[in-house]
A and B are shown apart, each in its own frame.
Chain A
Amino acid sequence: MNKDVSIKVCMGTGGIAAGGVEVMSTFEKALASVGIKAAVQKNCSMHKVGCRGFCARDVLVDVIIDGTKSTYQYIKPDMVERIVQEHVVGGAPIGDWLVTDDYHTFHDKQVKVVLSDCGEVDPEDIDSYLGRGGYEAVKKVLTTMTPQETIDVIKASGLRGRGGAGFPTAVKWDMAIKATGPKKYLICNADEGDPGAFMDRSVVEGNPHAVIEGMIIGAYAIGAPHGYVYIRAEYPLAVERLHLAIKQAKERGYLGKNILGKGLDFMIKVKLGAGAFVCGEETALIASIEGKRGQPKAKPPFPVQKGLWGYPTIINNVETLANVPYIIRKGASWYAAMGTEKSKGTKVFALTGKILNSGLIEVPMGIPLKEVIYDIGGGIENGKKLKAVQTGGPSGGCIPANMVDTTLDYESLSKVGSIMGSGGMVVLDETDCMVNVAKYFLQFTQSESCGKCIPCRVGTKRLLEILTRITEGKGREGDIELLESLAADVKTSSLCGLGQSAPNPVLSTIRYYRDEYEAHIYEKRCPAGVCKDLLSYSILEEFCKGCTACTRVCPAGAIIGEKKKPHKIIQDICIKCGACFETCKFKAIKKG
């Protein structure tokens, strides 16, 4: 047998959770047992690869035979034997187990830059990255470009910070190159505290060397001999792979003293964050690295003037930095050709919520939201109707269904009252209550407020309190106006980005769904049927067959009635769990 066989098993956190390790070891054993061990050893390579975005279908496995790739989904260890027998040995892929068409639509509209090597390289092996052109960009800048030229390329590419604010990266670096002093720092922000976000984690897990390479280029451009990666401790796999990658990069002379003999000194330290959302904010992050309470400081002075330990400091997001080597390698115009006039390149989103294909996606800036939802995402789950899309996480806002033509770029999103943020994208359908959505995000920001400044500390608590009472049917006349006025003050008066953006979900839901708020307050009704306290379940006698299915599922014992006679729900006992509603085959339970 002289085939070139390569098996790639998805080993992102999702893949591992789904049993990736067992799948891989079973492959190893199965391949060995078919007796091609010695001969195959050389050609048959097995890679652990990082996240490939399609988390819903783990474990995903690529079987590549002489360059022809077949992708299997939902693979379990007990399926491996058959794949080896029929496909690797027999040469016939198992059709039923292969990914379906939508796997391809999922990929077709995507353009991968940051994620281009994720799923392809072995994140634990520097040679795998080097084999795909890794560290070429470092070689290029160190041998052929001055720091200023490096910054100029980034400037021409139009790259903007992916950490949330979209600040032009080259402008930041320009300020840093001009800052003087004995020391400078470059920090990679891998704190990623938004609920539901895992873009940065996937990049670090899937291709840590790209982040490191981006940092080396950044360090060269701004003249910083020291780097930190601030990463949350809840990402153990990312942390482990990062450490390993740093070690390997150091062994190969890409980190340390006199990098590639070109006189550049740069070393990276990894600092674990304790998982406070606010520690993603630059000044709080710096305080945290310094061992102080993770609490923001007033700006100015900006970190680039007075940052870590008082020295000029640049903080860049993981995704921002991971873009850098590709821009250097392929050129600024290649990158700038993607996207809109002011938003260039691609953006990674974590697509979640009521969407068929949830997972990590990378799309060109300026793509219509519609295409993301219906083509990449495959539309709404369970044939329900799209209600809105929430972007930007707890700092963002929502885009109602009738505005799905909105394009995904910094300018358009801000025009409709939302933000790009770090790339959270939650799809909401008709069964989602918008007041409840606002409450959900406020619960998060309120509990993450560091407590330093008054508007955020006390203001977010009051916002949450008012939202809570509205969802509990205790809303009062004037509450919407009070929310608006308080939200506006918290926005303008808070010290840091957390407080300044925390009211966004409230303001944006009021903007588009004021009627839903009014229904809660004045009619004591939750149109989406979500807010429990505004719900009641009752049995429509004319439909009830007395089958007793509901009495059996009711955990509270709230349903009474004789067999074959109409049943009744005792409202005082009912806990509004909705079990009867789900169970009744005759649509005899009324919700509302």
Chain B
Amino acid sequence: MPNMTVTVDGKKIEVPMGSTILEACTAAGSRVPTLCHDNKLHPFGACRICLVEVEGTPRKFTPSCTTPATDNMVVKTTSPGLIEARRMVLELLLIKHPLDCPVCDKAGECSLQDLVHEYGLGPSRFDPEKGYLPPDYESAIIERNISRCILCGKCVRICDEQNAVGEWAFTRRGTRARISTDFDRPLDCEFCGECVEICPVGALTTRQFKYKARSWNLEGTASVCNYCGCGCGVSYETREGRIMRVGPARSNYLCTKGRFGWDAVHHAERLTTPKMRVNGELVDCTWDEALSIIATNLKVIKSRHGAEKIGGLGSVRTTNEDSYVFQKFLRTVVETNNIDTLARLKTPKGLNTTFFSGELNKMASHEVILVLDKNVGEINPLTGIEIVRAVNKKDRKLILVNDEFNKFNKIATVVLPTSTVNALENLVKALSSGAGSEESKRAAAMLKAAKNVAIIVPAQLSDNEFTLIRDLAGKLPEVTYYPLVRRSNFQGSLDMGVMPSYYPGYRKIDETSTADFAGLWNAVLPETTGMNAVEMIKAITQGKLAALYIMGDDPAGSDPGLKGILQKLEFLVVQDIFLTETAKLAHVVLPAASSTEKSGTFTNLERRLQQVNKAEEPIGESRPDWEIIQDIAKKMGGSMKYGSTRDILAEIRSVVPAYKDLAFGACWAREKSPLAGMADDLSLTSDSIMKQEVITAERLLFSSGMTITRSHEIGTIRHYKIEV
């Protein structure tokens, strides 16, 4: 875009055409106060505090947030008149403000407080107006203190423009205007807390943070949300080493799980000591006792039945370092390839192969977005948000497949009210023969006319759907896929080789690769590939698997039918942060540190490598997963001696080509994947496997969502559907 020249406070600068005066001022380093403006939102122009003087305009003052700058414009951001006008706005706001800053959770980070201080307001010339409205405690999670509200409308707009929820609205007029919900009922929304985050004053606050800390006593630790595959950056805000509040890093977005669900790690039922089974009961024991029992039992079972009768189920929510050490332990110490994650049963088919994910923040670069999974907003909230932003901010077109009704219907250009498979068939038909319903034809025409299309790929696909998407894409010039991925480090677990037939970095297990890795790891490796999760569970029922090591997953919790099967094991080790249903069946239970209590890296659904940083000390005697496993390995004669996660990551970088020079915050590229262009075979969800008579396989699909149920805050939401 061409530039234009703007002079701000005597300083000449170049800004892109279309910039607002406020943007020009910011670029010139002149700070203009704002109350109702936010870069995420459309300009609104309500607070009138951002006024500036523009030379040669008829009006005395110009609002900078809403007015476009023009070439050769000359702007002044301060003058006695402007200061007077801004002071007047503040003075007017204070007339009705309760000034209860001492008990307001926003104090210290309140724009009104800051500006009143900056502009040095003295006694008011107006009589104060009493009669404050009482605070509203009716809603879950969020409290509303109307008297503090300055009616900037940010909450209303973020909920509408960014979330497409539109829960807040202005009601009533004039001095009686306020923000509220339909009929002033309690909130019934996604409870993401974005409105609280954006509120410049203490009108919207959270129950979770109420009276918890003064903002200036908080220390932030940048990390990554551990709920879904989006991997949003979070800032854990701690006081005296304990998390008090979680906010978004880089002020992007957090959903309710990311912002409020973290409190699960403070739950009273966290495991704090190792436990072992004595006379059928789980009793507390020391780390040394627990680790010794594990080492001894695994050695005995290995020598009695062979290593192929031992297996490990890894986690899609532990760090890359944990996963790497886990698979390395099983391969080099136990000497088995029976390594998998249960989550692969709900793998997005084609992930990393056919459907190589685009970067979420580029969603708006596609002219048309085709959503094939109506639950996108619940599975991957940030993906949903990026779709809404693309539509609302950049006027992108949305084709939505939805046989029900949800928030995306409101912003969709075309809705195909049918199942995904029908919609795909219709679109392919309409694109090749021009036949079909009005909607399919319209959608097909839009797809055809677009230079580039984004396709939101469902978290689960049948073989038929998979083929249809490929057919459809074959008829379009340029397609970028955005597969949905439920868990925070699912991608990382694949990259780290937590799979029975791949080494880290997707090296397929064969003679050459085995020789290579034997050299790299200086170990003897099993010669054959291992059993996958489905096969392992089947093997237990057939007595072909005697011992199982489960790190950070809860199969029995998500599928009670598995309880009886797991009880058949000779030896079960469960390492988790809670005494899960699965842990209750174990012979040894190991308390793991949560992701807030340890460091490492996650790789999200975009294949973005992100740093997890420790914000608080591990609770009780709990320890990071990799440390526990390294100790067992040592006891079994292995040679692991990592001093920190940094050592592990260094080894990962040397073993996994895609990670070699991968910077934190960057996504690994398609060229770095040995799988690129390969047929899909990472997923266990192919129809043939699903059709196998595997226990209650269907129920398995819903595994591993148990942490969120231990969040106190999320538990207070009555109406919101949490994916469990």
Contacts and interface: CB of A to CB of B under 8 A. Distances in A.
A470 to B, nearest CB: 14
B328 to A, nearest CB: 57
A174 interface: no
Interface in B196-221: none
Given A298-B66, A494-B48, A495-B48, A449 B88 contact: no
A112 interface: no
Given A300-B67, A453-B47, A454-B150, A492 B85 contact: yes
A501 B59 CA distance: 13
A199 B176 CA distance: 31
Nearest to B177: A451
A489 B85 contact: yes
A293 B169 contact: yes
B166 to A, nearest CB: 11
Nearest to B89: A454
A459 interface: yes
Contact of A492 (B45, B59, B126): B59
Contact of B175 (A298, A451, A482, A492): A451
A455 B174 contact: no
Contacts of B127: 465
Contact of B95 (A446, A447, A462, A493): A462
A297 interface: yes
Interface in B12-48: 43-48
A416 interface: no
A507 to B, nearest CB: 14
Contacts of A448: 173-174
Interface size class of B (residues with CB under 8 A): 35 or more
Given A449-B175, A453-B47, A493-B85, A295 B170 contact: yes
Nearest to A447: B174
B557 interface: no
Contacts of B172: 451
B230 interface: no
B175 A454 contact: no
Nearest to B49: A454
A493 B170 CA distance: 21
A331 B172 CA distance: 48
Interface in B373-425: none
A493 B89 contact: yes
A462 B127 CA distance: 9
Contacts of B153: 452
A454 B84 contact: no
Nearest to A479: B125
Contacts of A492: 51, 59-61, 85
Contacts of B96: 458
A101 B67 CA distance: 57
A146 B514 CA distance: 82
Contacts of A459: 88, 92
Most B Cβ at <10 Å: residue of A298, A454, A495:
A454
A276 interface: yes
A453 B173 contact: no
Interface in B80-139: 84-85, 88-89, 92-93, 95-96, 125-127
A450 B173 CA distance: 5
B326 to A, nearest CB: 54
B45 A493 contact: no
Interface residues of A, number: 30
Contacts of B150: 454
Interface in A497-515: none
B244 to A, nearest CB: 32
A87 interface: no
Interface in A422-462: 446-455, 457-459, 461-462
B85 A454 contact: no
Contacts of B125: 482
Contacts of A489: 84-85, 88
A451 B173 contact: yes
B561 interface: no
Contacts of A452: 46, 151, 153, 170, 177
* Interface SS of A by simple majority: helix
A293 B178 CA distance: 13
A486 interface: yes
Given A462-B92, A493-B89, A451 B174 contact: yes
Nearest to B94: A458
Contact of A493 (B61, B67, B176): B61
A486 to B, nearest CB: 7
A457 B95 CA distance: 12
Contact of A457 (B88, B169, B174): B174
Nearest to B67: A300
B46 A449 contact: no
B61 A298 contact: no
B68 interface: yes
A453 B170 CA distance: 12
A448 B44 CA distance: 20
Interface string A464-503: 0100000000000000001001100100111100000000
A346 to B, nearest CB: 27
A300 B95 contact: no
A458 B92 contact: yes
Contacts of B93: 454, 458
B600 interface: no
Contacts of B51: 492-493
Interface string B154-192: 000000000000000110111111000000000000000
A496 to B, nearest CB: 9
B63 interface: yes
A454 B61 CA distance: 15
A298 B42 CA distance: 11
Interface in B419-472: none
A461 B176 CA distance: 11
Interface string A290-317: 0001010110100000000000000000
Contact of A298 (B45, B151, B173): B45
B173 A454 contact: no
A455 B175 contact: no
Contact of B173 (A276, A300, A485, A493): A276
Give 4 closest A-B pairs by Cβ, nearest first. Answer: A451-B177, A298-B45, A298-B66, A458-B92
11 contacts: A446-B175, A449-B174, A449-B175, A450-B173, A452-B153, A457-B175, A459-B88, A459-B92, A461-B175, A489-B84, A489-B85
Given A298-B44, A454-B89, 8 more contacts: A293-B169, A454-B151, A458-B96, A462-B92, A462-B95, A465-B127, A489-B85, A494-B48
